[in-house]
Amino acid sequence: MKRDIERILIARGSIADRVRALGESITSRLEDVEEDQEIVLVAVMTGSIIFVADLVRHLPMKLRIQLMTASSYVGKSTKSNGDPMLGKLPDVKGKYVLLVDDILDSGKTLTRIRNELQTLEPMLIESCVLLRKKIDSAKCVPCEYVGFEIEDEFVVGYGLDYDGFYRNFPDIGVICPE
């Protein structure tokens, strides 16, 4: 697997430190949420699975975790195929929603999910992504919590994949050109 990685972009120690800091920021924000207000963390699968698993360990509050599928990449493509396909939407009516995804690149997936969830009348939706690409389309999408800003490169590891592989790579790396 390591031979397929051109270079490490973000090492696992830096990821762990940043996830802890994101958890602290989110916790600080959620201290204002009323005791009887339900908090739902909506994890966009499958890419966010490792990020979510680490992030929730830094969120010391009562919350539900709901899984949602979304896909905008097909097969061995390193470019999004356009409109994301969404799975079943979770019940978020009247709830505080923390939408968590692995990467914000074109912005289409996060925008579509936020718009669809908004139709279900949550109290509030906030988004958290591990990575946001430094491109205009990504910067225009509302995202309250961002782990790292990265250049427009195809990255794998820490949940991010190429054709279903490399999710278990513990660092975030740039994949070798084919």
Residues designated as active site: 105
Strand-strand pairing, 85-86 and 124-133: unpaired
**Cα separations in angstroms, 168 against 1, 11, 75:** 10, 14, 18
**CB 102 within 8 Å of CB 68:** no
Long-range contacts of 12-15 (CB under 8 A, 24+ apart): 12/158, 12/170, 12/171, 15/130, 15/147, 15/158, 15/171, 15/172
In whole angstroms, what is the distance from residue 134 CA to residue 142 CA? 14
Peptide bond into 119 cis (omega under 30): no
